[in-house]
Amino acid sequence: MINKKSKFLVFVALIFLLLVSIVILGFLLKNYQEHSNPILAEVPQDNLAKSLISDIKEVNKDLLYQNVEILTKNLDLLESNQDLSDNIFTQENPLGHTPKITNSLKEESSKSVVKESLNPKDLIGDCKRIRPQLAIIIDDIAFMRQYHKVMQLPFKVTPSIFPKGKISPNTPNIAKIAPFYMIHLPLEALNFHQNGHHLLLSTDTKETIEGKIKTLKKDFPNLTYVNNHIGSKFTQNERAMKFLLEALNQEGITFVDSRTIPSVTRKYYQYHPKESFNTCQNIPFLERDVFLDNELDVEKITANLMKVVKIAKTKGYAIAIGHPHKETLLALQNASSYLKESGVDLVYINELIVP
């Protein structure tokens, strides 16, 4: 039987290890902040290719976050051991109580996580909207730091993350912790190209496109929605879109048309009608209503946000797309009170009730 002195020493040792871990974590974060450069999210979208030089640094940042996650797990283990010590003390003194060590890092992390995504039926029942709904998608998520910045917004937004690739090797890790996410699928554009992305081309065979989507589903097993990254050439090609939409249908994935240019998606489904995979969405695909940040100006982004709120009130729901630029995130943060009082519910894309 462990005596009380031994228990006390174990308790003190656990507290000491916890404090040392927190100090090490603080040092790592401080060193990271002092040496980090602006992230990819703060680079204008048309300069994305020029930012590839900093990709290695971004990967190192993701490694740092992974180390933080490992350290957090160790702190959780310490907390579990403390729970065991509490049980020992309680068994000897049923009327006593020993305060538990609080994992402050775990609590802080949980503050940035919005409520988990639910089936729309679970939210309101029978797929009937109580108020107009707005889904805001934030495209171009390639790194963990971008994701955490987006998730600091005090309302639901849907992160659209790049597939696993050269400049986004760790996006499957983002998917594992996101309450809900979608994939931002790079498609061929007319007059624009970005190094580092594996684009689906309008000349690709059916087998090539099917293989890409199967790989995507393997990397992201619970994937249910995708939208296109660029794609002005691909989405106008009837043959290419037929192959893509068929491949997505086979994997149970809903396509959200970013409408970078008038596409043939609607035409395809007119001739190939199908039921939605989401019982509360009575159309086979969704499409963007407003781009928030074609111009990186906080006032103009705010005006576009007000525009999409009006659209939501008119037709019952709306979809807006933005990017993780500092101007966009600032405009959304500043508009939090307006959105709260707007009479519109902010939801994930899979929670939309359509129509």
- Tens-level pLDDT at each residue, the chain (355 residues): 556 666 667 666 767 777 766 767 666 655 544 444 333 333 344 444 444 334 434 444 444 444 434 433 443 333 333 333 333 222 333 333 333 323 332 333 334 334 445 455 444 458 999 999 999 999 999 999 999 999 999 999 999 999 999 999 999 999 999 999 999 999 999 987 777 788 999 999 999 999 999 999 999 999 999 999 999 999 999 999 999 999 999 999 999 999 999 999 999 999 999 999 999 999 999 999 999 999 999 999 999 999 999 999 999 999 999 999 999 999 999 999 999 999 999 999 999 999 8
What pLDDT, on the 0 to 100 scale, is given for residue 22? Answer: 73
Helix (H) or strand (E) holding 286: strand 285-287
Which three-class secondary structure state does DSSP give residue 275?
coil
CB 160 within 8 A of CB 183: yes
> What are the Cα distances from residue 213, in Å, to 82, 113, 208, 226, 279?
46, 28, 9, 10, 23
What is the Cα–Cα distance from 256 to 275, expressed in whole angstroms?
Answer: 15
The count of residues in the chain is: 355
CB atoms within 10 A of CB 171: 26
